[in-house]
A and B are shown apart, each in its own frame.
Chain A
């Protein structure tokens, strides 16, 4: 065991090395743009140089003259592509802005695509296109004249239950201490290292799309609608995804265009969009603003919480995350009032980015909690203990499990929090001011519709198939572990196949539902295999298990076994007269509509959990961060961070550790590094590359300790699993910001906290 592969505790699975590990370290893992296709033509996108206006004309003369150019696609010759309405959650397109013009809705909108024999020629021709625009003034952000604000509760059914309870005005009027503050989070881009790529190959009227995707069946069905062909004609393949973080969950405008070009040219077409194009042809995390009023009694009991959020979206689309839904359930607040507004600006449409609803909202409330604790003169951990709850402050429903304070206690002990001097600016090491801060991590536990096929051979080999995704989460591995456990074979005997729409459908890899949803479907399929084997062994006329109670049988070590008796699998297969047993199973969350699986086949996922069931289902964690701020230069460093997390059953301590560690680093990054800057006049992204959009490099990261806290929760789903992929980066930004306050006495309420804000 090592730091990377922690010793499993109760309800935790072995740290098996990743099933896809060898493929990934040898370069054999084929990501979609690595798939060999015969004689591809290469595409290069042309994107809008203005943020708002119209294309008057596109002069293609010089571009068409570039040797090797095959065709140029613009709004004038792509009208056959159908419109698909924007829809959140993978069921539709990521944006309603799909036409290539003549209207321009945002900077970097795709307005043309050049296809040529070589990548070099396509790029040359793309640069040679001359576009004549009529530019209109654009409104890029909150304070720009011309943006439009809407209250989301007026828009969507799903937003109607924006949480509120009691009389907040009265509660705050009666509070001993009140914090009234505004917070802001910037635009952020996922920037997975894999670029946005699409390769389309037609074989007769059948289309194969190689595109990194978090949702094979969503992509398949939406591409079919886009091209007006039957979904059975479209196959989508994405065995590996080079990072997604929410950016590859929906249909974006490029896919239909590449497929359209490949059909017209009778040739495979391969597109690898550039890094800067990636900022505008997919989604991003919306800029947000928050106003919070939070009040408590002198003894630390909260009495009232008001939270109003503002989120940027595009002109046509009503994308919002409304994280108040989760923030409002975090503590025993007393009275609660929340509201969320969207602000339509001249931007591309935002979308999910790792832990979409909670990241900005929990940053805001967890900073406000720290401010209130400081005003009360209370230890921030004790302040949370006083306001811990086992029931929903809004509805009174119980939490299915909630190990928040266990997480706080374990992380605090590992961090040595007791040595903290609470006074800001009191801890020093030479020229460095030291600050210690903490915050809560929380993420709704989602359970989605999923299907799986499992095959057990007489020799004990197992194959598991589901069209889920391993975005680096460890899905190949943990899904395989579940099958190995249920079928009593070694992990090495299992092969998991994912990422292909020819496999049975699984939900969108979003909301951290994959492990729970797929493992539950795999368990069901394995259960059916077990039942067949047990029946055959127990009802045989002879043999060691003949006449045994079926309920007393199990599978272990490649054998059907009972107390004191067993027979090899091969024997039981002989009794059945078959060489393999294959079972297909469907699993849908409780309360899902009867057609949930049919919908999944049609590309519509069903997710439940969070605040929506009979019990509240959430995973929790506690994060502690040390910052060092240089007394003269205000340079900020994070020498150590400790997070303790409880996520129900942990399938694999190695992959769980990596996800949470990566998440915490994401959180540190969002606190100190990341922000997409937008030109306030031209409404164009300024730092649209990896040198100017700051993400942590190796030298930015020091000790990051992850503690896995044992937790058992049979209510969340049959697998007992709470998702972890999005938990780790929730709360981290607040912990960093609270630590900066402790170091300096300065409360910075707008992320990222860069040194100029402290000077």
Chain B
């Protein structure tokens, strides 16, 4: 691969070059083809692209089809199956992860577009045998799930919601959690869980933990 990174924070220019030089997906292709082709020699668009992600504190180097979403990179290439695919089109929230601390839909994010960024998934909140993150514990206490399929996304989104300051009251929580569908309809319990874990989640943020 041509990407030989020294530091973990790629410049915007480097990001654009990475994307453009390996553009194969229809969306990116439309945006960059003309310019990129004019500037650099055409390359095989099917050649895998190198992507470096910091996932739950571990640096991961991947070689991916450029069309690979962050969600599929996590699930199919890193074996982190906690993040779920519920629609693959940005409509359900089951794939929600944190990118540099902000909630993002893994299915609508190409892995190559978050090259060099820091990703937190549900697996990053605690380790086997360790205490649960306060938000996880609150979801258990408040029975804020049934089938559990939306739950990873709900919990990551809930942490993001608290970090953003959007958990001030019930109405706010409901509104700012409305991108995460729960077909089992655990909604009232999800609201209760976020209220339970809000203070502890805020104080973890203050001490720079997720």
B83 touches A662 (CB 8 A): no
User: What size tier do the contact residues of chain A reach?
Assistant: 35 or more
Determine the residue in chain B with the shortest Cβ distance to A244: B147
A4 touches B192 (CB 8 A): yes
The B-contacting residues of A in range 681-717, CB under 8 angstroms, are 689-691, 695-699, 701, 703-704
Determine the residue in chain A with the shortest Cβ distance to B192: A4
Is A625 positioned at the interface, with any CB of B under 8 Å from its CB? no
A659 touches B146 (CB 8 A): yes
Assuming the contacts A242-B148, A655-B143, asked whether A193 and B175 have C-beta atoms less than 8 A apart, the reply is no
Q: Which of B128, B143, B171 has the largest count of A CB atoms less than 10 A from its CB?
A: B143
The CA of A364 and the CA of B181, in the complex, are separated in Å by 29
| Interface locus among B2-10, B11-19, B27-35, B119-127 | B119-127
B contacts with A: majority SS: loop
B65 touches A118 (CB 8 A): yes
Is A295 positioned at the interface, with any CB of B under 8 Å from its CB? no
B149 touches A698 (CB 8 A): no
Is B132 positioned at the interface, with any CB of A under 8 Å from its CB? yes
A interface footprint on B118-152 (CB within 8 Å = 1, 0 otherwise) = 00011101101000100011011111111111111
B82 touches A473 (CB 8 A): no
Is A593 positioned at the interface, with any CB of B under 8 Å from its CB? no
Expressed in whole angstroms, the minimum distance between the Cβ of A102 and any Cβ of chain B is: 30
Q: Which of A27, A31, A245, A669 contacts B121 (CB 8 A)?
A: A27
A interface footprint on B86-106 (CB within 8 Å = 1, 0 otherwise) = 111101101000000000000
A29 touches B148 (CB 8 A): yes
A471 touches B147 (CB 8 A): yes
Q: Which of A23, A120, A195, A666 contacts B85 (CB 8 A)?
A: A195
Q: B91 — which chain A residues lie within 8 A by C-beta?
A: 275, 689-691
Is B37 positioned at the interface, with any CB of A under 8 Å from its CB? no
Q: Which of A657, A659, A701 contacts B174 (CB 8 A)?
A: A701
The CA of A645 and the CA of B128, in the complex, are separated in Å by 38
Is B155 positioned at the interface, with any CB of A under 8 Å from its CB? yes
The CA of A21 and the CA of B142, in the complex, are separated in Å by 11
Q: B150 — which chain A residues lie within 8 A by C-beta?
A: 193
Assuming the contacts A25-B140, A698-B178, asked whether A31 and B84 have C-beta atoms less than 8 A apart, the reply is yes
The CA of A661 and the CA of B189, in the complex, are separated in Å by 10
Determine the residue in chain B with the shortest Cβ distance to A473: B146
Q: B175 — which chain A residues lie within 8 A by C-beta?
A: 698-699
B140 touches A21 (CB 8 A): yes
A193 touches B79 (CB 8 A): no
Is B22 positioned at the interface, with any CB of A under 8 Å from its CB? no
Q: B149 — which chain A residues lie within 8 A by C-beta?
A: 31, 192-194, 242-243
Expressed in whole angstroms, the minimum distance between the Cβ of A44 and any Cβ of chain B is: 11
Is A240 positioned at the interface, with any CB of B under 8 Å from its CB? yes
Determine the residue in chain B with the shortest Cβ distance to A23: B148
The CA of A690 and the CA of B87, in the complex, are separated in Å by 8
Q: Which of B67, B83, B128, B185 contacts A665 (CB 8 A)?
A: B185
The CA of A224 and the CA of B119, in the complex, are separated in Å by 42
Q: A244 — which chain B residues lie within 8 A by C-beta?
A: 147
Assuming the contacts A118-B65, A662-B186, asked whether A20 and B89 have C-beta atoms less than 8 A apart, the reply is no
Expressed in whole angstroms, the minimum distance between the Cβ of B156 and any Cβ of chain A is: 10
Is B182 positioned at the interface, with any CB of A under 8 Å from its CB? yes
B143 touches A17 (CB 8 A): yes
- The number of chain B residues with a CB under 8 A from chain A is 65
Q: Which of A5, A192, A696, A701 has the largest count of B CB atoms less than 10 A from its CB?
A: A701
Is A274 positioned at the interface, with any CB of B under 8 Å from its CB? yes
B interface footprint on A14-25 (CB within 8 Å = 1, 0 otherwise) = 000110111111
Determine the residue in chain B with the shortest Cβ distance to A35: B81
A701 touches B136 (CB 8 A): no
Q: A20 — which chain B residues lie within 8 A by C-beta?
A: 148
B123 touches A26 (CB 8 A): yes
B interface footprint on A456-478 (CB within 8 Å = 1, 0 otherwise) = 00000000000000011110000
Q: Which of B67, B121, B142, B187 contacts A696 (CB 8 A)?
A: B187
The CA of A696 and the CA of B150, in the complex, are separated in Å by 14
Determine the residue in chain A with the shortest Cβ distance to B153: A193
Q: B147 — which chain A residues lie within 8 A by C-beta?
A: 192-194, 240-244, 471-472
B181 touches A25 (CB 8 A): no
Q: A193 — which chain B residues lie within 8 A by C-beta?
A: 84, 86, 92, 94, 147, 149-150, 181-183
Q: B121 — which chain A residues lie within 8 A by C-beta?
A: 27
A interface footprint on B29-63 (CB within 8 Å = 1, 0 otherwise) = 00000000000000000100000000000000000
Is B190 positioned at the interface, with any CB of A under 8 Å from its CB? yes
Q: A121 — which chain B residues lie within 8 A by C-beta?
A: 65
Q: B186 — which chain A residues lie within 8 A by C-beta?
A: 658, 661-662
Expressed in whole angstroms, the minimum distance between the Cβ of B146 and any Cβ of chain A is: 3
Is B115 positioned at the interface, with any CB of A under 8 Å from its CB? no
A240 touches B81 (CB 8 A): no
A689 touches B94 (CB 8 A): no
Is A204 positioned at the interface, with any CB of B under 8 Å from its CB? no
Is B168 positioned at the interface, with any CB of A under 8 Å from its CB? no
- Beyond A24-B145, A31-B84, A698-B173, list 7 extra A-B contacts (CB 8 Å): A25-B136, A26-B136, A27-B123, A194-B147, A243-B147, A695-B183, A697-B179
Q: List 25 A-B contacts (CB under 8 A).
A: A17-B140, A25-B145, A26-B126, A26-B132, A27-B123, A33-B85, A118-B65, A120-B65, A121-B65, A192-B183, A194-B147, A194-B149, A195-B85, A240-B147, A240-B148, A242-B86, A242-B147, A242-B148, A658-B146, A661-B185, A665-B185, A689-B87, A690-B181, A697-B179, A699-B178
Q: Which 10 A/B pairs are nearest by Cβ-Cβ distance?
A: A27-B82, A242-B149, A472-B146, A472-B147, A24-B148, A34-B81, A665-B185, A27-B122, A690-B91, A697-B178
